[in-house]
Amino acid sequence: MAVLSEADLIAVRRSLHRIPELALHEIQTQAYIEEFVKQLDCAWLSVKHVPAVPTALLVRLEGTAPRRTLGYRTDIDALPVEEQTGLPFASNHPGVMHACGHDVHITVALGILAYFAAHQPKDNLLFFFQPAEEAEYGGKRVYDAGAFAGRFRPDEFYALHDNPALPAGQIATRMGTLFAGTTEIHLTFTGKSGHAAFPQKANDAIVAAAAFVMQVQTIVARNVDPVRGGVVTLGTFHAGTIGNVIAGSARLDGTIRAFRQADIEMMQQRVRQIAEGVAATYGVQAALKLIQGGYMPVENAPKQTADLIHYMKHAPAVDFAEVAPAMTGEDFGFLLQQFPGTMVWLGVNDPQHSLHAANFSPDEAALKPGVAALVGFLKHRMEEE
């Protein structure tokens, strides 16, 4: 297989868009990637599976004069979203959609891989096709399984995420933290249900949960340095069955986000304290789960990021921009704590729709310049000491 043309890249992206799969269930997607890799018929290519995370795939290219191994990671899972784009290549899987553009991510990775399968790299290259970015922190799972060992251990790691607010094909990043770290909040208050006419005989979980909702709003306002920022959002509140029955339980789900891990841990502790205080005040039981998994802040490494920014700024065919950090979460943050590297945005020009929206439709004109920019950078990086 030769280097992929723009038409090839679009065909790959549309094939992947039709078969979105949820975290840790990316069976068809992995099979598509494996078949693509097989068709490369490359003598310096090897593949590694991860039994503990069966839908993960590592592809290694042996360099001609390797001094290190450069890693490139792409996420392959989709979201539980019913697609509403009306595209002729829309999802074939009801209730599941590539609403975060991971089909674009995979396509760019395969384009880079195809180039270096036809032009043997100087340094070793490791491509990590990662399941479970949207949920279940697949990067940490694969790392904890010991997959990045021996010949499959990268010295540096790079990745991208598409951005609908940026022009198609634009590369953007920044020194320091690019994305926030996140923590899931799952909380259930359990009281005692009863007749609405006899509140003294019940213990209202809704009143307790409502107090919790109000009190957690003070965490960012009164505990986080306003220069640094943070978010505590509660996205669900489920309680009760009918208006004349006092609810005996209430469940809330939400998220904590901040740019610094120390702030995330402080915010986690405040959520615990408030949940415990509300439970004591209202005489209910609180069952709280805080799950961070691998969703650490995406902290770009200084040396690698400075080199990437310098290259992108001076590459004549690259449209590059430096950007502010975003509260977006990404489990590539965990891998960047283990290996130095950089994450970038790839503009996909759909400013009317946000990531995770049912009508999100990336501009496929971003594919070819995305591949070209990253191929160029990796070739440049191989010449750096």
Active site (catalytic) residues: 75, 134
Q: What gap in Å lies between CA 195 and CA 201, rounded to an integer?
A: 8
Q: What gap in Å lies between CA 156 and CA 304, rounded to an integer?
A: 8
* Amino acid code (one letter) for 37: V
Paired tokens of 7: 């038409």
Q: What gap in Å lies between CA 166 and CA 349, rounded to an integer?
A: 5
Paired tokens of 62: 């042996």
> CA angle, 32 as apex, 62 and 64 as ends, to 5°?
10
Q: What gap in Å lies between CA 333 and CA 184, rounded to an integer?
A: 16
Cβ-contact 170, 181 below 8 angstroms: no
What number of other Cβ atoms are within 10 A of residue 375's Cβ? Answer: 20
